[in-house]
Amino acid sequence: MFARWSRGVCVRGSLHYNPSLAGSGSIMPVVKSSTRKTETPCIHLMFYRRLNDLDSSADVLHFIGTLQPLPDSLAAGALQRICEVEKKDGNHKLPKGILENGVFQDLCVRFEQESPSLSDTALVTALQALSLLYVGPQSNLLLNLVAESRHRVKRGGLEVRSLCILGESLIRLQGPGDETLELIIYQLQGEKLETFAPEDIVALYRILQACAEKVDRHQAFLNKINSFSLSVVSTLSPTLMSQMLTALVALDQTQALPLVIKLGKYAVRHIPHFTHEELRKVLEAFIYFGHNDRFFTTALERHVASLCLTLDPEVISTVTEYCGRKQILSRPIFDAVAETFVGQSEKFSPRQVSELIEPFGKLNYLPPNASALFRKLENLLLTRFDYFPPKTLLKILHSCSLIECHPVNFMAKIFSPYFLQQLQGEESSVDRLSLAQLTQLFLTSVLECPFYKGRKLLPKYQVRSFLTPCCSLETPVDFQLYKSVRIGLIDLLGARMYFASKVLTPYCYTIASSAADVEIKLDEEGLVLPFTIDEDVHKRLALCIDDPKRFSLNSRHLLGKEAIKQRHLRLLGYQVVQIPYYEIEMLKSRVELVEYLQRKLFPHNVGIRW
């Protein structure tokens, strides 16, 4: 058990397929300025609208069979729609029935034989369509289209949109190592970014994302794109915004924080319109770049609270991971997440369970349905214990102990030699963080669960201190805050000799200057003793000087690892005195500081003797 303790009109331009719609199942003509200034017939727009209304390949083929012959741009659009519909239905290649259809075969023969005479738009649209589904690599149709596309790239003169579509199609067909791709990127670098439509900018990001291993070669170009993209953020659709953030992560554009911040600002309005996958990608990007925004969090709260029972487990776990990483204690989000897990726990993978549960422990929060939540978690772990990787399981159980939901029924298992061997894996030893978590769980069994009589953790797996540079279970504090308190203590007690730092307790917790905690010893009469004296110590005061890093973001709510430390110190016999930063900041003078410390340390004494 877990023990609980106290879209029309006619327009000028040429018809192009929008690459941002790939996979969406709809084709729309995209207006792009043309030097020929030809009038786009309204019949073209009507054709595309009719095409979008058809949701089966058979219907599309029947429709275009009544309109032969079609202009090459419309024929390419029809081919695009067929591949989109099949892709949407989950197919990875065209069904035999489509391949043997006479209208489809006539369409393919036309594109194969007439590829040199196709318009740029028809050529790249047809190639894009065929790149969505598997077509034999030796297909004459595909070979002819690829060869003609490469010829036109080398000849030059393709518009930005055509270059972008062609670049992405070649990546899907030939991979990022295709030699023509470098030429496409080079030609795009020569274009003025002001002439790029927003969807072209995002397509350019996607192309460079596919060549992420060559990012250093293109960094100067990326810097220009990052700067220019600031001007188009407000016009991006939810899909394009998610794709841009995903590319920025893949390309490790940590220097583009102004762009990330602006994307975060405008993402607020799109939260209800992101698909589950798009929202997950946005959150992953914000986690990667360390970005958070209170307006984004507020909008996310509303969205998650309204759709909690319908959100995908991957989205749910990413939302809580985002809150945990940024130390955002959002009660509406955590309450909704807890409710979702109780109702749908069987849908969550071990990794998703860990990403969901860990933030509860980290942020020291128990939702209103805590008993149901942890009962569901316990049942899940009991039935699927062997499916959880050892480190994942340890993280979950340690997180539970932080909020006083102690995994008593699992302690004997995780302290066993078999589990410890699994935890070690092929390494020479168990990693330092896992050892610290095991040790804290063991201390929890000793200090908070005296009724536990099961297997103990062997001494060789116990750490001596929780305060370490790389994986600390204690939070170092800002040195300036410690320095201010130290000055006040010297004025109050009369000398530095009457309080100690860098003291390691018998149970691994450090009362140290680096942790900004202080120990004061009192004798039986309440006299303050020099820290060097160990005899006649009647009471020990532990000052926990808590800076903002020990609290969740913009709150006065202690993090889980700080709350468990203070609980354990009390159980070890210390009188814990919390000195939070927000109380220190209210003091206006050194005299006020001394008076404040006296009230905190000796609330029942009029005067102090030492």
pLDDT tens digit sequence for 101-133? 888 888 888 888 888 988 998 899 888 888 887
Task: Output the pLDDT for position 40.
Answer: 52
Six-digit token string for 12: 């000028």
Q: Does 17 score more than 70 pLDDT?
A: no
Task: Output the pLDDT for position 138.
Answer: 53
pLDDT tens for 374-408 read: 999 999 999 999 999 999 999 999 999 999 999 99
Question: What is the rounded average pLDDT of the residues 461-481?
Answer: 77
d(CA 187, CA 437): 54
**Residue 39 DSSP code:** B
d(CA 3, CA 20): 52
Provide the pairing of β-strand 510-511 with 503-504.
antiparallel
Q: Encode burial over 244-272: b for 16+ CB neighbours within 10 A, e otherwise.
A: bbbbbbbbebeebeebbebbbeebeebbe
Residue in 155, 166, 162 with CA at minimum distance from that of residue 130: 166
Give the count of beta carbons closer than 10 Å to the beta carbon of residue 385.
12
What residues contact 34, with CB distance under 8 A and at least 6 apart? Answer: 12, 13, 14
Q: What's the N-to-C CA distance of the chain in angstroms?
A: 49
For the ranges 19-28, 154-163, 240-249, the lowest mean pLDDT is seen at 19-28
For the ranges 10-24, 210-224, 560-574, the lowest mean pLDDT is seen at 10-24
Whole-Å CA distances, 334 to 251, 320, 361: 32, 7, 11
11 neighbors 195 (Cβ within 8 angstroms): no
d(CA 193, CA 466): 53
Q: What is the residue type of 191?
A: E
Q: Phi and psi of 520, rounded to 5°?
A: -125, 135
Six-digit token string for 39: 């009038």
Burial of 168 (C-beta count, 10 Å sphere; 0-12/13-18/19+): buried
**Residue 16 DSSP code:** E
261 neighbors 250 (Cβ within 8 angstroms): no
Task: Output the pLDDT for position 363.
Answer: 96
Q: How is 290-320 classified by DSSP, letter by letter?
A: T---HHHHHHHHHHHHHHTTTS-HHHHHHHH
For the ranges 9-18, 184-193, 389-398, the lowest mean pLDDT is seen at 9-18
Give the count of beta carbons closer than 10 Å to the beta carbon of residue 131.
23
d(CA 63, CA 238): 32
pLDDT tens for 22-57 read: 444 444 444 343 333 444 556 677 877 887 777 888
Q: Does 157 score more than 80 pLDDT?
A: yes
Total-model pTM? 0.83
Give the three-class secondary structure for 474: coil
pLDDT tens for 428-453 read: 888 889 999 999 999 999 999 989 99
